[in-house]
Chains A and B, each alone.
Chain A
Amino acid sequence: MIARLAAFLVLLAAAAAFPLFAGKYPVTLLQEILIWGVFAMSLDLLMGYAGMVSFGHSAFFGVGGYVAALALTAYPGTLSALALPPLAAGLAALVIGFFSIRVSGVYFIMLTLAFSQMFYAVAFQAAWLGAEDGIVGVPRASVVGINLAQPMSFHLYLVALVALGALFLWRVVRSPFGHVLQGIHENESRMQAVGYAVNRYKLLAFVIAGMLAGVAGALYTQLVGSITPDAFLWTTSGEALLMVIIGGTGTLGGAVLGAGAFILLQSLVSSYTERWMLILGLTFILLVLFAPGGIVGALRGRVGLRA
């Protein structure tokens, strides 16, 4: 426990200090990894703990991103950067979750997938959302008194938010609520029989995960300064799923590792060859076939670490 906390703090300090000894490109890569890490961790709460495999998590990433873009353009400030995106994403998750948790398994996968594509369809065609081009030129505002236009402030702000998100999720999965979720994962009908309002727990998990995905989306908009309909695209959800799987489901930390592996692999392979999609696709296929436990699973098997 203490050792884990120490490791977390060391990693946090290293991430925070990274711009001091690295160039612009590696820093951007790290920031992307951290943002996708939060996104993937929020998905892992659903997949790895509650056993709800959502293929529509991009909906909340996109809602967070778009709301941040609209709000920051109109009213640059704390509320627009920190409060509105997760609230909007949480609301979207409440509505989608309400319909989707009525079914489970493959049906849940397909419903969440279709719902997220619905958002894509709206964003792609709505003129007030910039249609295909999305929203560009989003400013980095002054948030809680910190001027994010300054690169190092933005980096620290991003690292702090990601760390808070990770700690929050870590608390959630270890709370009684988190244990109920894992119970639902293990045996839903038994939890129902014991007297838990299973659907209410699932919906709450879905909303929490949606809100954190919204935070990730908002951070992404602020990092890039723009957001496009592609944020909603089902491949965004698929990539987050892959990150969780690559890292190892039900570990939270694995999701961040997976995000790191995915983004580094993508940038590495694409700098050497135009055929990066092919190599990425092959890698995923081989990973699914031969390393079902992901990176964390492989490490545990090798080093003999316990869960």
Chain B
Amino acid sequence: MPALPDLFAQALNGLSYGVLLFLLSVGLTLIFGMLDVVNLAHGSFYMLGAYAGLTLIATTGNFWLALVAAPLVVGGIGAVIERSCLRPLYRRQPLDQVLLTFGLIYLFEDLVKWIWGGRIRSIPAPDLFSGSVTVLGATVPSYRLFVIVFGLGMAVAVWLLIERTRLGSIIRAGVFDAEMTGGMGVNIHRVFTGVFAFGAALGGLSGVIAGPIQSAYPPMGASILIPALIVVVVGGLGSLKGSLVGSLIIGQAETFGKAWLPGASMLMIYLVMAAIVLLRPQGLFGRPLK
């Protein structure tokens, strides 16, 4: 049994990873719930966020500016994708959208290689959080604590937006029944574009804050996609609460898997997923399957 401070440090690592997954899976789950699209290119938004952040930090030297601007850029890209590529496909079978977003992965990954090159680029943490602090005997990079606090703050903000505003109630109605919501006089197409762009922007945000922890490299999007999809399966498709709880579970499973089962760490999150699917096929907070 490892010492208590080590356990605590592991738990914090897991929490910061979980927070990144949450920002990513919110978009995935909302886009799925509302648009019925499994967006395989969601990991690409994460990658684009990291690289946009890299360039913005390199040119302006200001991490905080990048934190705001990079998600806006990625959100804009998301809006363009939704209008130009996905909208013509809504009336087709879901597979077409899956394949289209699969094509987008190739496109974005190669574009990033073209623009930024294929090697790993490290992104510096902001000066304010470049040191480390000791919490309960564990030494933790202060940037990780920032990621945790910031991410949890974003989780609260997203929750307030979805659950407590008029816009949020339109989005929830759209997730429940998009066609009916349109029938009630809401311009549902604009909401679709908005939700897609919002999800993309959160994915981009996740990429920016992941930068100083994981660096930026072109396949990063494809490799984060699977854990994010697992979060959505575990939490339940279309559920915000599920996305949060699922992220925290998968974040811990991943980190403790690495610490305790070094030979089979990658297996851990799949075992968690399999167990949950076996017990509750719809996920922890998903609507029961027909």
Please indicate the chain A residues that have their CB under 8 angstroms from the CB of B32 in the complex: 106
The answer on a CB contact under 8 Å between B100 and A125 is: no
Task: Name which residue of chain B comes closest to A276, CB basis.
Answer: B110
Min Cβ gap B276→A in Å is: 11
The answer on a CB contact under 8 Å between B267 and A122 is: yes
Please indicate the chain A residues that have their CB under 8 angstroms from the CB of B94 in the complex: 53, 105-106, 109
The answer on a CB contact under 8 Å between A289 and B107 is: no
The answer on a CB contact under 8 Å between A241 and B267 is: no
The answer on a CB contact under 8 Å between B226 and A234 is: yes
Which residues of A (84-131) have their CB < 8 Å from a CB of B?
Answer: 99, 102-103, 105-107, 109-111, 113-115, 117-118, 120-122, 124-127
> Cβ of B104 < 8 Å from any Cβ of A?
yes
The answer on a CB contact under 8 Å between A289 and B277 is: no
The answer on a CB contact under 8 Å between A241 and B226 is: no
Given contacts A113-B226, A275-B110, A288-B89, contact A242 B102 (CB under 8 A): yes
Number of CB contacts from chain A to chain B under 8 A: 123
The answer on a CB contact under 8 Å between B266 and A103 is: no
> Cβ of A262 < 8 Å from any Cβ of B?
no
Task: Name which residue of chain A comes closest to B113, CB basis.
Answer: A277
The answer on a CB contact under 8 Å between B264 and A277 is: no
17 contacts between A and B (CB under 8 A): A102-B281, A103-B281, A103-B289, A106-B32, A106-B36, A106-B38, A110-B229, A121-B264, A121-B267, A124-B266, A125-B263, A235-B222, A275-B110, A281-B105, A284-B106, A288-B103, A289-B85
Min Cβ gap A189→B in Å is: 9
Please indicate the chain B residues that have their CB under 8 angstroms from the CB of A238 in the complex: 40, 99, 102
Contact partner of B89 (CB less than 8 A), chosen from A103, A126, A234, A289, is A289
**Which of B102, B105, B114, B237 lies at the interface centre, i.e. has the most chain A CB atoms within 10 A of its CB?**
B102
The docked-state distance in angstroms from the alpha carbon of A114 to that of B273 is 8
> Cβ of B96 < 8 Å from any Cβ of A?
yes
Given pairs A114-B226, A126-B264, A292-B96, 13 additional interface contacts (CB within 8 A): A110-B233, A114-B229, A117-B270, A118-B267, A120-B266, A122-B264, A127-B263, A238-B102, A241-B95, A242-B103, A277-B113, A284-B99, A292-B92
The answer on a CB contact under 8 Å between B232 and A110 is: yes
The docked-state distance in angstroms from the alpha carbon of A115 to that of B233 is 12
Contact partner of B277 (CB less than 8 A), chosen from A99, A121, A276, A285, is A99
Which residues of A (245-295) have their CB < 8 Å from a CB of B?
Answer: 245, 275-278, 280-285, 288-289, 292
Please indicate the chain B residues that have their CB under 8 angstroms from the CB of A70 in the complex: none
Min Cβ gap B153→A in Å is: 29
The answer on a CB contact under 8 Å between A107 and B289 is: yes
Given contacts A102-B281, A114-B233, contact A241 B99 (CB under 8 A): yes
The answer on a CB contact under 8 Å between A281 and B281 is: no
Which residues of B (191-246) have their CB < 8 Å from a CB of A?
Answer: 222, 226, 229-230, 232-233, 237
> Cβ of B274 < 8 Å from any Cβ of A?
yes
The answer on a CB contact under 8 Å between A285 and B270 is: no
Please indicate the chain A residues that have their CB under 8 angstroms from the CB of B108 in the complex: 281
The docked-state distance in angstroms from the alpha carbon of A102 to that of B108 is 34
Min Cβ gap A118→B in Å is: 4
Please indicate the chain A residues that have their CB under 8 angstroms from the CB of B237 in the complex: 106-107
Please indicate the chain A residues that have their CB under 8 angstroms from the CB of B226 in the complex: 113-114, 117, 234
